[in-house]
Amino acid sequence: MRLAGRISLFAAASLLLTVSARAETVVKIGAALSLTGPAAAYGAQQKTGILAAVEEVNKSGALKGVKLEAVIEDDASTKEQGIAVFQRFINKDKVSAIIGPTLSNTATAADPLAQGAKVPVVAVSNTLPKGITDIGDYIWRVSLTEAQVIPSALKSAKAKLGFKSAGILYGNDDAFTQGAYGVMKSTLDSLGTATLATQTFAKPDKDYTAQLTALLATKPEILVVSALVENASGIVAQARQLGWQGPIFGGNGFNSPKLIANAGPASEGVYVGTAWNKPSTDAANLAFQKAMADRKHDPDQFCAQAYTGVLVIAEAIKLSGKGGRDDIKAGFLKLKDLSTPLGKFSFNTDRDGEHGAALQVVKDGKFQIVP
């Protein structure tokens, strides 16, 4: 009897363990982030946002029977490393979805692999107007494109500053900075702002004196710059050193606290269009900021977008009822007006994200929303 009782208890315990194991399904999310290279400042923020969101979703119990797990790899800000990371995610880690890569330049090379393998990708910082979601129907985007942010931001900046002429400087060796330049130029034209001169640079450059001197010689009323943050910091600092005291308008690459940290007081008066309204009192944004404060982390737009990327995937799993690759894609099709730190979020018919944008300026050593 005792032996039979022990066997029964053992069988019951084994059954409970089996049921428990079956009850919780682990869904892996791969995250290809620029933790080294020119975009490392963005990748560090994205990593914090992703880990916090995964922890918050799991703690909430919103996905009954599903536990999210983030598999984070460094894409090194290069196409080659991005491709290698995507291959590992798809074939070895068997992830259900991928967040990233950080740069549009890397995404144009790596995303086709996910499309071919039918693995949904959520771009959280790719703002290239064309060339991301049109890769295929498994590629989705949380980040607003430059075409969604720059026109309204420049229009607001002109209404405030009244500039009638501009000088443009942009990186000519990166898909993002090239794409943003195109949007900046066409927007300035539509606003009746004359472009007096245009100069270019490359990511490895450190000295922008020649380009800035040529631009300033034309006496523009604003400098408009498309650059990643490492270049942007040097450009802003050197422009001030050359005596430029006027406004500088930057694209999405400027959206990092590292701009202020690197350029210091020179960054005062820099305007940037942003996809994240930090002072928003929306409940989802307050919850996000509390989660960051609990981690003693000062978030930026890239952190908020990455956090939102996890929320979007979690909502897709909830809507579809499963965590497979095609289940998540199916969930994206149903997703509408999701509460996120970025505001009410939906995908449009092009699989691009839609939510509000704002204009911010560096004032008193920090980004502040322009009313």
Query: At 343, is the pLDDT very low, low, confident or very high (cuts 50, 70, 90)?
Result: very high
Structure confidence at residue 101 (pLDDT): 98
Show the domain range for 182. Answer: 147-274
Query: pTM above 0.75?
Result: yes
Structure confidence at residue 97 (pLDDT): 98
Q: How many CB atoms lie within 10 A of CB 258?
A: 19
* Tens-place pLDDT, residues 220-248: 999 999 999 999 999 999 999 999 999 99
Mean pLDDT score of the chain, rounded to an integer? 93
Is residue 2 included in any domain, yes or no?
no
Sheet holding 343-347, edge to edge: 338-340, 343-347, 353-354
- 29 and 128 together in one domain: yes
Q: How far apart are CA 286 and CA 188, in angstroms?
A: 35
Structure confidence at residue 356 (pLDDT): 85
Average pLDDT for 244-267: 94
Among 234, 250, 274, the domain-final residue is: 274
Among 215, 247, 274, the domain-final residue is: 274
For residue 308, is pLDDT > 60? Answer: yes
β-pair type (66-74, 25-33): parallel
Q: How far apart are CA 6 and CA 21, in angstroms?
A: 22
CATH number at residue 311: 3.40.50.2300
- Which residue, chain included where needed, has tokens 């404060």? 293
- 214 and 243 together in one domain: yes
For residue 96, is pLDDT > 80? Answer: yes
- 196 and 228 together in one domain: yes
Closest to 45 in 3D by CA, of 366, 253, 305: 305
Q: In what helix (H) or strand (E) does residue 315 lie, and over which residues does it extend?
A: helix 301-320
For residue 350, is pLDDT > 70? Answer: yes
Closest to 263 in 3D by CA, of 237, 244, 239, 242: 237
Is residue 122 included in any domain, yes or no?
yes
Q: How far apart are CA 311 and CA 216, in angstroms?
A: 45
- DSSP type of residue 68: E
Q: How far apart are CA 268 and CA 361, in angstroms?
A: 8
Is residue 237 included in any domain, yes or no?
yes
Is residue 4 included in any domain, yes or no?
no
